[in-house]
């Protein structure tokens, strides 16, 4: 398996590689991928810079037509690609199909945006003069993403960047490189010209080279807050535009008047779907005293029954593996911390029954009696670990939910319409749900968070186009004489 640079599949210049293994079965080696460095990034950035003039001058509706075809090809290759994705990152086939569907939605949205990309005209303050403003592409965009949504999250960045007329250097996660290559195959088949889209595989060094390369004008990053913050500092020094999607510690509030069946289904899906490995995953459950004991009891019963397994070989599997040993170790360390501060009521161990022993599986884990000072209440764990905290009023619930360094997603279960709208106003998060879990954002809505989660940008929907364009203000004076703004009024 190779890099994709200037329309050609090439190994890394150093010849070094890394292994991609199946997290559900570590005996299954998917392939060796190039461990690329700054020299490989330089080749890709040069190819992208060379491809920029022609691609940026192609009419946007034509670029949109190419992306529509990419959406069609993603749909055609759904079965095969979902299996490739499940094999390399572990979530179930139902979920990897959803991941691809999100890219299809994003492709079709970007395709139609090729015919919009609206500018704004305003009246001039002077006679016989016209003011207009329109979007311009920026140049080469460096895209660095995580492994948990190997197709959807890259699509949120790459497809808007391309339809706006930019070219791209993409570094997929080392834990999901195969999906990145399929992305390249699909864009090539759709008609994206050589050099417009490039894939460079590698680790932190490779990401750093993307951030540093002078031809790369925009950096789009999804990953940890620590890495994102250091990328932002570097981009600040280099005067690059940077869009960040980072950590979350998302809370689901359940009020005393909630539909408990619904709240239970919501938290099971939000906390243990994708093995809790979403930036939007529910990691805190804040429950009103009046329903706390009943909900917790029912939650324990239901979570205990969740079926862990390899999504490729076990159709009944609901919860896949944790991505790798490093992440499993981190989760287990948090379980130890949690056990010293709160009450462990479910799970807490690596799951090793039968075939599970071949992978990095983690039991769904629940803590109760968690308070706001506990580290498991405050810190992102990124695994199937849920903290339950009591509250005695709406105000306390909101205060608890907001007592957190992150601000991505949030949710409230209540039947009181006034309370629901108050929560939409009061929750400090980029995304809030009423009577739905914290996961499940749709491709045509702004996606992103406040506080430690982001840096003010939103992917998804119409807001993604703000990241990948600059505005041009244009003035046309058709008076035939010098008119001085602010002076000849």
Q: Looking at beta carbons only, is 45 or 253 nearer to ligand UN1? A: 253
- How many residues contact ligand UN1, by CB under 6 A? 11
Q: Which of residues 197-236 bind ligand UN1 (CB under 6 A)?
A: 222
Give every CB contact of residue 36 below 8 A, 6+ residues apart in sequence.
3, 12, 13, 14, 200, 201, 202, 206
36/275 with CB nearer ligand UN1: 275
Looking at the chain, the number of H-run helices and the number of E-run strands are 15, 23
Of positions 81, 412, 441, 467, contacts ligand UN1 by CB under 6 A: 441
Beta strands in 279-323 (DSSP E): 282-288
Segment contacting ligand UN1 (CB under 6 A): 147-155, 379-387, 410-418, 419-427? 147-155
Question: Of 139 and 454, which has the nearer Cβ to ligand UN1?
Answer: 454
- Name the segment binding ligand UN1 (CB under 6 A); options: 257-265, 329-337, 434-442, 449-457: 434-442
Q: Indicate whether 153 belongs to the interface with ligand UN1 (CB under 6 A).
A: yes
Q: Which is nearer to ligand UN1, 157 or 213 (CB)?
A: 157
- H helices of 77-199, where? 78-89, 93-113, 152-163, 177-190
421 burial class (0-12, 13-18, 19+ CB within 10 angstroms)?
exposed
Q: Are 339 and 7 in contact (CB under 8 A)?
A: no
Q: How far apart are CA 112 and CA 71, in angstroms?
A: 12
Check binding of 149 to ligand UN1 (CB under 6 A): yes
Q: How far apart, in whole angstroms, are the C-alpha atoms of residue 420 and residue 100?
A: 32
Which position among 5, 186, 196, 439 is part of the footprint of ligand UN1 (CB under 6 A)?
439
Nearer to ligand UN1 by Cβ, of 61 and 98: the residue is: 98
Rounded Cα distance, 411 and 250, in Å: 8
244 binds ligand UN1 (CB under 6 A): no
Nearest-CA neighbor of 337 among 304, 299, 367?
367
Query: In the complex, which residue's CB is closest to ligand UN1?
Result: 441
- Pair 251, 282: CB distance under 8 Å: yes
- Smallest separation (angstroms) from ligand UN1 to the CB of 384: 14
> Which residue, 2 or 96, is less far from ligand UN1 as judged by CB?
96
How many angstroms separate the CA atoms of 415 and 35, rounded? Answer: 53
**Toward ligand UN1, which CB reaches closer, 40 or 245?**
245
Residue 278 or 350 having the CB closest to ligand UN1:
278
Residue 59: count of CB within 10 angstroms of its CB: 11
Q: Which residues from 317-336 bind ligand UN1, rule CB under 6 A?
A: none
Q: Which stretch binds ligand UN1 (CB under 6 A): 70-78, 135-143, 176-184, 276-284?
A: 276-284
Other C-beta atoms within 10 Å of 454: how many?
24
Applying CB under 6 A, does 280 fall inside the site for ligand UN1? yes
Span from 6-14, 146-154, 284-292, 366-374 in contact with ligand UN1 (CB under 6 A): 146-154
**What is the smallest separation between the CB atom of 148 and ligand UN1, expressed in angstroms?**
5
Q: 221 with 447: CB under 8 angstroms?
A: no
Q: Which of residues 72-111 bind ligand UN1 (CB under 6 A)?
A: 102
Contact between 32 and 202 under an 8 Å Cβ cutoff? The reply is: no
Q: How far is the CB of 23 from ligand UN1 (least distance, A)?
A: 16
SS3 325: helix
Rounded to a whole number of angstroms, the minimum distance from the CB of residue 95 to ligand UN1 is 10
Rounded to a whole number of angstroms, the minimum distance from the CB of residue 19 to ligand UN1 is: 24
Three-class SS of residue 292?
helix
Tokens of 489: 């009024």
Nearest distance in Å: CB 349, ligand UN1: 25
Give yes or no: 279 in active site: yes
Crossing angle (nearest 10°) for helices 177-190 and 152-163: 30
- Least distance in Å: CB of 145 to ligand UN1? 9
Respond yes or no: is residue 265 known to be catalytic: no
Contact assessment for residue 131 and residue 473, using Cβ atoms and an 8 Å cutoff: yes
Q: Give residues in contact with ligand UN1 (CB under 6 A).
A: 102, 148-149, 153, 222, 278-280, 439-441
> Any idea which residues carry the catalytic annotation?
245, 279
């Amino acid at each position: 398996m190779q890099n994709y640079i200037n329309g050609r599949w090439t190994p890394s210049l150093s010849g070094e590689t890394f292994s991609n293994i199946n997290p559900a079965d570590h005996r299954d080696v998917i392939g060796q991928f190039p461990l690329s460095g700054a020299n490989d990034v330089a080749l890709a950035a040069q190819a992208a810079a060379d491809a920029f003039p022609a691609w940026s001058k192609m009419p946007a509706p034509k670029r949109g037509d190419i992306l529509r075809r990419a959406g069609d090809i993603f749909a055609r290759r759904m079965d095969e690609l979902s299996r490739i994705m499940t094999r390399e990152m572990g979530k179930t086939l139902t979920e990897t199909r959803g991941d691809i569907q999100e890219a299809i939605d994003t492709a079709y949205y970007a395709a139609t945006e090729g015919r919009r990309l609206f500018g704004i005209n305003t009246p001039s303050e002077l006679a016989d003069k016209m003011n207009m403003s329109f979007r311009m592409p920026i140049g080469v965009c460096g895209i660095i993403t995580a492994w948990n949504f190997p197709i959807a999250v890259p699509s949120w960045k790459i497809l808007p960047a391309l339809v706006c007329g930019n070219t791209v250097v993409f570094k997929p996660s080392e834990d999901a490189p195969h999906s990145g290559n399929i992305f390249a195959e699909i864009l090539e088949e759709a008609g994206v010209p050589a050099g417009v889209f490039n894939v460079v595989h590698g680790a932190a060094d490779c990401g750093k080279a993307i951030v540093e390369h002078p031809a790369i004008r925009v950096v789009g990053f999804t990953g940890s807050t620590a890495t994102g913050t250091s990328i932002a500092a570097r981009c600040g020094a280099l005067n690059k535009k940077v869009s960040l999607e980072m950590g979350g510690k998302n809370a689901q509030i359940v009020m005393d008047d909630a539909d408990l069946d619904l709240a239970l289904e919501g938290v099971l899906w939000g906390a243990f779907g994708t093995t809790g490995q979403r930036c939007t995953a529910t990691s805190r459950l804040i429950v009103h005293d009046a329903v706390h004991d009943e909900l917790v009891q029912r939650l324990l019963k239901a979570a205990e029954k969740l079926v862990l397994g390899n999504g490729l070989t076990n159709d009944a599997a609901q919860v896949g593996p944790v991505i790798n040993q490093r992440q499993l170790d981190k989760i287990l360390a948090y379980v130890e911390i949690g056990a010293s501060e709160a009450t462990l009521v479910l799970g807490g161990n690596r799951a090793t029954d039968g075939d599970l022993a071949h992978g990095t599986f983690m039991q769904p884990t629940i803590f109760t009696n968690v308070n706001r000072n506990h580290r498991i209440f405050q810190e992102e764990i990124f695994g199937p670990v849920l903290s339950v905290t009591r509250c005695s009023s709406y105000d306390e619930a909101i205060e608890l939910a907001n007592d957190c360094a992150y601000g991505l997603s949030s949710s409230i279960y209540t039947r009181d319409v006034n309370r629901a709208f108050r929560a939409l106003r009061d929750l400090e998060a980029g995304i809030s749900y009423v009577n739905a879990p914290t996961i499940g954002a749709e491709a045509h809505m702004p996606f992103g968070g406040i506080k430690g989660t982001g840096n003010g940008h939103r992917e998804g929907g119409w807001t993604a186009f703000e990241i990948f364009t600059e505005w041009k203000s244009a003035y046309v004076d058709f008076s035939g004489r010098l008119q001085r703004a602010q002076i000849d009024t």
